[in-house]
């Protein structure tokens, strides 16, 4: 490259200039000789909303609010074009990524526009800086020091997000504290919003449904009460005085002790519409969570969100979007897609993925989550016939939704590397890439991330990419193979706990989900059991309802089968389960060896850090295997098949393990 021309002046354009200057100081592998030059003739890189002379303006076309185009002329001059400053910022980041990965600008140019409108991180961060299910240190939001002290980390955070296209941040926990809606905290939130704005990031807050009572001293929070409606309207007006481009509210209601419309015998639509009406004049949206289930376990937990929401399809205001977790239980290592994705054609639905690894080994287990995300996004709901994938539901193309969004529960904290495990940065990155374009393959994401983070050397990229791409299946194997789910330790969910039973709520225990006995194992969700299956399309009911046709990865999710049941490969269920646990352990050990052999490609500090975490993962994979197999063996009453290591300890030892002060709990 040579000289650069950035046309115009704005906070966002200033960021672009800084990014280019930083890049000019050197990429990972090579130096890009870049310099600023305002003489048009000399410019080799042009960042501009105007068509530079000599370029065909028709090449630009409309790029929307966030799209961009990269073009190269015969003389090799590169033009980053967009209709907005934010489009230019995204285009600049893409340009820099293409340079770093060595891909360069394709001859025909490069064009990109997000397929999803709102691409959001959900921080489950409390005002006291503790985190719900966060494993990488404290909350990065230092509310005590805000608004006067603006930490550099807020800028770094916004910059990292903008580089992958994330454009929204809900900065507070879904288990909400009404305090954040008081003037004292709105002033602090406004300071964060000011940092985010030039990076194209909108700030959102969680709203506690009972806030009118807690803050406004009203006798009720009933959504149909005119006093309550007025309170929320006034509150919205107040928030917009602090944050003129406030994005809106994320709400967890009627779930796990959170207040909601149920307290007044009102529906989820009544609750969501109350807040939507207050935000509407300002252009704000409500993300109303579908994670609603009763305290009394009246029915299979997997069925309750559908029962609660599906009857209200079409009853939500046009600035409401229902936020649905990827599966019907709770971010398990593997779950079939949530049935609501195939059942709400008249209500915009958004995806909620978990980036933080509550049920997946937390900070120390390397699991490359884009594999999980893509499995869900590419699942066929059959709602409008074959090809009705979840990705087409949430990108709005299937039902013509007016609003589209995706949320990822953040894995970020104050750890020096942001995410605890260096490789968990890849999950933040991958989430952002999939929110921009849900069709990108996990393989592309892993390749990009490795090149942008470590090196372009194929001797490094190939083995590490392989390790990343098989890591999800590996973790499922050593934790919950064949459709097992929710057999983690009580409350903190760290490590195995298939024996957890008899607690104050049934649907937080393991025995509720695996139902193991001498007769077999698995949750019968067919017509002979809870019939959760009837919430899916007839095509899926036919396939998943038949133990011979259901993909074996979902077998024990939908069926209760005897231990001697024969699988497709001719093995008994027990033997296959044991061999899968062993396979997970073998692969985790192999990863340690692979990483060890790549020492020369990574700096010492990061190499050692990742190495010790991979060792923890291999050790804990064996812990999972031994604990689960010893527990289930009591019922299966069969020996371990050949090839499975014999545990060195008894079941009682594993049942006696207590982890105290597990983070995020
Ligand atoms: C899980 C998690 C909770 C969280 C909840 C939610 O149940 O364990 O900590 O609050 O999900 O998504 O609201």
Residue spans of the domains in the chain: they are 4-112, 118-441, 476-523+560-655
- Tokens 């503790």 locate to 130
Indicate the pLDDT class of residue 29, thresholds 50, 70 and 90: low
Q: What is the pLDDT of residues 304-327, one digit of tens each?
A: 999 999 999 999 999 999 999 999
38-42, 64-68, 105-109: least confidently modelled range: 38-42
Which ligand 1 atom minimizes the distance to the CA of 325?
12
Band of pLDDT at residue 258, cut at 50, 70 and 90: very high
Given this model, what pLDDT does residue 33 score? 53
pLDDT digits (tens, 9 = 90+) for 351-385: 999 999 999 999 999 999 999 999 999 999 999 99
Give the pLDDT band (50/70/90) at residue 449. Answer: very high
Task: Just list the catalytic residues.
Answer: 256, 330, 358
pLDDT value at residue 37:
53
Rounded average pLDDT over 35-60: 72
User: CA angle, 559 as apex, 555 and 565 as ends, to 5°?
Assistant: 75
Q: Indicate the average pLDDT of the chain.
A: 95
The answer on pLDDT for 388 being more than 70 is yes
> Quick one: CATH architecture of 118-441?
Alpha-Beta Barrel (3.20)
Contact 275, 286 (CB under 8 A): yes
Task: Say what the pLDDT of residue 1 is.
Answer: 44
The pLDDT value given to residue 656: 98
264-268: average pLDDT? 98
The pairs formed by 440-448 with CB atoms below 8 angstroms and a separation of 24 or more are 441/374, 442/368, 442/370, 442/371, 442/373, 442/374, 442/469, 443/469, 445/370, 446/368, 446/370, 447/101, 448/97, 448/101
Which of 122, 123, 124 to mutate for ligand 1's pocket (most ligand atoms within 8 Å of CB)?
124
Alpha carbon of 553 to ligand 1 centroid (Å): 24
Q: What is the CATH number of domain 476-523+560-655?
A: 3.90.1330.10
CATH number of 4-112: 3.30.379.10
Mean per-residue pLDDT for 173-185? 98
pLDDT grade for 53, boundaries at 50, 70 and 90: confident
Distance between Cα 161 and ligand 1 center (Å): 24
Q: Is the pLDDT of residue 22 over 90?
A: no
Give residues (CB < 6 A) around ligand 1: 132-133, 174-175, 252, 256, 291, 330, 358
pLDDT classification of 108: cutoffs 50, 70, 90: confident
Q: What is the dihedral of CA 545, 546, 551, 556, to 10 degrees?
A: 70
Angstrom distance (rounded) from CA 89 to CA 165: 10
Inform me whether the pLDDT recorded for 55 exceeds 90.
Answer: no
592: nearest Cα among 608, 572, 576:
608
């Amino acid at each position: 490259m040579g000289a650069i021309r950035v046309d115009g002046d704005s906070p966002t354009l200033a960021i672009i200039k800084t990014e280019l200057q930083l890049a000019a100081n050197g990429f990972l592998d090579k130096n890009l000789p870049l310099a600023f030059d305002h003489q048009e003739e000399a410019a080799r890189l042009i960042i501009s909303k105007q068509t530079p002379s000599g370029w065909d303006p028709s090449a630009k076309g409309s790029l929307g609010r966030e799209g961009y185009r990269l073009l190269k002329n015969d003389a090799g001059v590169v033009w980053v074009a967009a209709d907005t400053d934010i489009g230019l910022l995204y285009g600049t980041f893409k340009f820099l990524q293409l340079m770093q990965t060595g891909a360069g600008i394709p001859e025909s140019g490069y064009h990109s526009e997000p397929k999803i409108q709102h691409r959001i991180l959900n921080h489950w961060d409390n005002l006291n800086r503790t985190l719900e299910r966060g494993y990488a240190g404290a909350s990065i939001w230092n509310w005590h020091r805000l608004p006067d002290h603006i930490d550099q980390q807020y800028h770094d955070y916004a910059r990292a997000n903008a580089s992958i296209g994330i454009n929204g941040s809900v900065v507070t926990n879904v288990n909400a504290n009404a305090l954040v809606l008081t003037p004292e905290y709105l002033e602090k939130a406004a300071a964060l919003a000011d940092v985010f704005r030039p990076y194209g990031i909108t700030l959102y807050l969680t709203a506690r449904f009972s806030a009118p009572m807690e803050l406004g001293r009203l006798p009720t929070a009933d959504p149909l009460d005119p006093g309550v409606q007025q309170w929320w309207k006034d509150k919205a007006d107040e928030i917009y005085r602090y944050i003129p481009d406030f994005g809106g509210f994320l709400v967890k209601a009627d779930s796990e002790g959170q207040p909601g419309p149920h307290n007044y015998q009102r529906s989820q639509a009544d609750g969501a519409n109350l807040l939507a009406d207050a935000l509407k004049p300002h252009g704000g949206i409500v993300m109303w969570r579908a994670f609603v289930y009763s305290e009394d376990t009246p029915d299979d937990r997997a069925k309750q969100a559908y029962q609660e929401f599906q009857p209200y399809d079409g009853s939500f205001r046009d600035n409401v979007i229902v936020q649905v977790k990827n599966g019907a239980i709770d971010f398990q290592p593997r779950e079939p897609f949530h049935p609501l994705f195939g059942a709400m054609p008249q209500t915009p639905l958004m995806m909620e993925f978990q980036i933080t690894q509550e049920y997946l080994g937390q900070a120390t287990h390397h699991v490359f989550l884009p594999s999980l995300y893509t499995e869900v996004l590419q699942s066929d709901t059959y709602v409008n016939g074959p090809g009705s994938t979840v990705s087409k539901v949430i990108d709005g193309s299937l039902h013509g939704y007016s609003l589209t969004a995706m949320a990822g529960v953040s894995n970020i904290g104050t750890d020096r590397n942001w995410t605890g495990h260096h490789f968990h940065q890849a999950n933040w990155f991958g989430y952002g890439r999939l929110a921009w374009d849900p069709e990108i393959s996990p393989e592309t994401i892993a390749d990009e991330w490795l090149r942008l983070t470590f090196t372009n050397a194929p001797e490094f990229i190939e083995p590490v990419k392989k390790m990343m791409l098989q890591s999800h299946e590996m973790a499922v194997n050593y934790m919950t193979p064949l459709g097992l789910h929710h057999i983690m330790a009580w409350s903190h969910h760290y490590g195995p706990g298939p024996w957890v039973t008899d607690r104050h709520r049934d649907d937080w225990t393991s025995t509720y989900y695996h139902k193991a006995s001498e007769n077999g194992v698995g949750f019968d969700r067919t017509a002979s059991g809870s019939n959760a299956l009837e919430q899916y399309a007839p095509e899926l009911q036919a396939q998943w309802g038949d133990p011979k046709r259901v993909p074996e990865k979902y077998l024990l999710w939908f069926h209760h089968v005897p231990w001697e049941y024969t699988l497709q490969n001719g093995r008994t269920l027990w033997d296959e389960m044991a061999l899968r646990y062993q396979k997970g352990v073998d692969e985790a050990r192999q990863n340690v060896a692979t990483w060890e052999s790549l020492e020369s490609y990574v700096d010492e500090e990061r190499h050692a850090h990742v190495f010790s975490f991979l060792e923890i993962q291999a050790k804990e994979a064996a812990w999972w295997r031994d604990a689960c197999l010893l527990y289930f063996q009591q019922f299966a009453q069969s020996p371990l098949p050949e090839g499975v290591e014999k545990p060195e300890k008894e079941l009682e030892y594993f049942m006696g393990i207590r982890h105290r002060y597990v983070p995020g709990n």
